[in-house]
Amino acid sequence: MTRAMHRVLVVEDDSAMRKVLRMLFEAEDFRVICAETCELGVRQAKFHRPDICIVDLGLPDRDGLTFIRELRSWSATPVVVLTACSDEAQRLDAFAAGADDYVAKPFSCPELVARVRAILRRATVREPNAPTLKLGTTSIDLARRVTHGRDGTEKHLTPIEHRILECLLRRAGGVVPHTEMLREVWGPHQSDMRPLRVYITSLRRKLETDPVRPRHILTAPGIGYRLESGA
């Protein structure tokens, strides 16, 4: 995919900020689609099918978390939250809703572009010979990144959730340390464990028959996590 083919959806109510982001990403050969409300953002996402979304949390009709949750109900498109709020609880809520990254305003334009490109690279990487993973009644095609439950319905996993599964699968049956998972999924500078815990909880909720008593995505207390596949 060439740079010009990347589509970024900007969901931001501030017109000046929308203009800045449009100019920034068009200069980097992105196609930019803008929306100033949550409702319009969801409609634009369904119509244009962007490669990545940049979302402000403070929208006039509903907050940005609502946009992320609605998007996640049918799409695994990567989401970067861009907001002036630096509240830790809100950051964790954004990750829990399905965000892939969180950038605080004011921000560095080159860093934002670099983060977006890094997420797009990770989201488009495919392993041509990647296996199908069976977790009980759930089947996960890791090459196509398609997940089906017992009744055949498709489940939507985010790019980060797929990377976590791939990381665990490479060491299936063995414990993958927290530090190794953080490095592989988020990069060498990530040391905060909380987003990892949030995504593990989300994966268990989507893939385990009983998320409270998981049989496949298991915790090694104080060390990391391990994957037990099969029935």
Among the three residues 124, 153, 169, which one is the final residue of a domain in this structure? 124
pLDDT-derived band at 59, boundaries 50, 70, 90:
very high
User: What pLDDT was estimated at residue 52?
Assistant: 94
Same domain membership, residue 161 and residue 67 = no
CATH of the domain at 167: 1.10.10.10
Which one-letter amino acid corresponds to residue 124?
Answer: T
* pLDDT tens digits for range 203-224: 998 888 889 999 999 999 989 9
Strand 224-227 and strand 217-220: the pairing is antiparallel
Residue 92's domain comprises 3-124
- My answer on whether 116 and 173 are in the same domain is no
* Confidence band, pLDDT 50/70/90 cuts, at residue 153: confident
Question: Which tens digits make up the pLDDT trace of 76-119?
Answer: 789 999 988 767 788 888 888 889 898 988 899 999 999 999 88
pLDDT of residue 49: 81
Domain count, the chain: 2
Q: Are residues 175 and 214 in the same domain?
A: yes
Distances from the Cα of 167 to the Cαs of 70, 79, 104, 131, 154, in angstroms?
27, 21, 28, 13, 22
Q: Is-above-0.75 flag for pTM?
A: no
**Pair (171, 89) in one structural domain:** no
